[in-house]
Amino acid sequence: MQSMITTLLTGISVGGQYALIAIGYTMVYGILRLINFAHGDVFMVAGMMLIWLAAILPLPVAIPVVIAITILLGFCIERAAYLPLRQAPRMSVMISAIGVSYLLQNVITYLTGGQPMTYPTIPFLAQTVEIFGTKQTMATMITLPAVILLVVALTFLINHTKVGMAMRAVSKDFETSRLMGIKINNVISVTFIIGSALAAVGSVLYFSNYPKIVAVSGALPGLKAFVAAVFGGIGSIPGAVIGAFIIGICENLIKATPYSVFSDAFTFAVLVIVLIFRPTGIFGEKTLDKV
């Protein structure tokens, strides 16, 4: 019973961390129709940044600085690698995203010398709390409320502010919204900024469960968060969050069975099954191909 509770709670917290990354994927896809392959690596860079900054700054200062740097990184990637390809075919932009991912991984490998880096212990997140007779870390417990808070804030931003309205307009129709006087590039930048900020928060929560991180640490959570986004219906924020929770919980349930080696394969199997039977996901909108 206790192990069951632990599994579930871990699943919920991992799901929440995936949700924070998945929102970045889904928002970018909703507006640019681009799978931002570099997003997982941005997530990893945020983790690395905290390692370096925690060495020179006190943690309460370091974490906001990390979030700021990640935002800057996301913004720069968009401006440098995706903006020049706005008129190019979608395949080129995706290749560019893969290139950015390759670049970020190589830069981090260079800077770390390929060595695993020890993630600093964040005292607040590492403390244990007792719940239903099981001991959990604060990081596990705080994820769910944090995700709910951030998603509510994000939903408010999208539904009740001018920027949010512009985002919704751009995701509906690129060209028309440009004619309506929306500065598309600014809207896209805001999307990347929000996505990166959430990824930075997610990285703090995610990596504090792991002792060490390496240059490819972002790839797998990135892919899983992407699967979650597809599962929920790519382009839809509630979809991404729910998808992420389902993936996170299922993955941890499988890890508790003898089939634990297949927990990663399971994620991709889910992806393939969803894509085959309902390519638009749970909440996705159906699109029609026009000749």
Partner 1 sequence: MNRIDNKKNVKSTVIALVCILAFWGILLLIENLNLILPNVPKLFTPTSKLFMVLRKVIVYSLIAVSMNLLNGFTGLFSLGHAGFMLLGAYTFAILTTPVSLKVPVDGIFYKYGGSIVNFSLQEAFGSIFGNSGAGGAVSLVLGVLVALIISGLVAALFAYLIGLPVLRLKSDYLAIATLGFAEIIRTIFQCEVIKLPGGGELVLGKLTNGANMIKGFPTLNSFNITNATGQTTLYLSTVVPAIIVTACIVVIVLLINSTYGRSFKAIRDDEIAAEAMGINLAKHKILSFCISAFFAAVGGALYAMFATTYQAKPFTSVLTYEILLIVVTGGIGSVTGSCIGAFLYIACSEWWLRFLDEPMMIGAFQVPLLKDGFRMVVFSIVIMIVVLFFRKGIMGTKELPDLFKKRKVKAKTEGTVTDNAK
Q: Which residues are at the interface with partner 1 (CB under 8 A)?
A: 33-35, 80-81, 84-85, 88, 90-92, 94-96, 98-103, 105-107, 109-111, 113-114, 216, 219, 223, 226-227, 230, 258-259, 261-262, 264-265, 267-269, 271-272, 275-276, 279, 289, 291
Q: Which of 52, 38, 192, 190 is nearest to 106 (CA)?
A: 38
Least spacing, CB of residue 231 vs partner 1, in Å = 11
Least spacing, CB of residue 261 vs partner 1, in Å = 5
CB atoms within 10 A of CB 274: 20
Least spacing, CB of residue 148 vs partner 1, in Å = 28
Q: Is 37 helix (H, G, I), strand (E, B) or coil?
A: coil
Least spacing, CB of residue 106 vs partner 1, in Å = 4
Which runs of E-coded beta strand occur in 205-274?
212-213
Burial classification of residue 56, based on how many CB atoms lie within 10 Å of its CB (0-12 exposed, 13-18 middle, 19 or more buried): exposed
Least spacing, CB of residue 117 vs partner 1, in Å = 14
d(CA 124, CA 138): 7
**Which amino acid, one-letter code, is at 85?**
L
Strand partners, 135: 130
Least spacing, CB of residue 252 vs partner 1, in Å = 17
Q: Which is nearer to partner 1, 79 or 164 (CB)?
A: 79
Q: Which is nearer to partner 1, 141 or 223 (CB)?
A: 223
Q: Which is nearer to partner 1, 100 or 201 (CB)?
A: 100
Q: Which is nearer to partner 1, 205 or 230 (CB)?
A: 230
Q: Which is nearer to partner 1, 190 or 230 (CB)?
A: 230
Residue with tokens 């499988």: 254
Q: Is 212 helix (H, G, I), strand (E, B) or coil?
A: strand
d(CA 233, CA 198): 19
Q: Which is nearer to partner 1, 95 or 253 (CB)?
A: 95
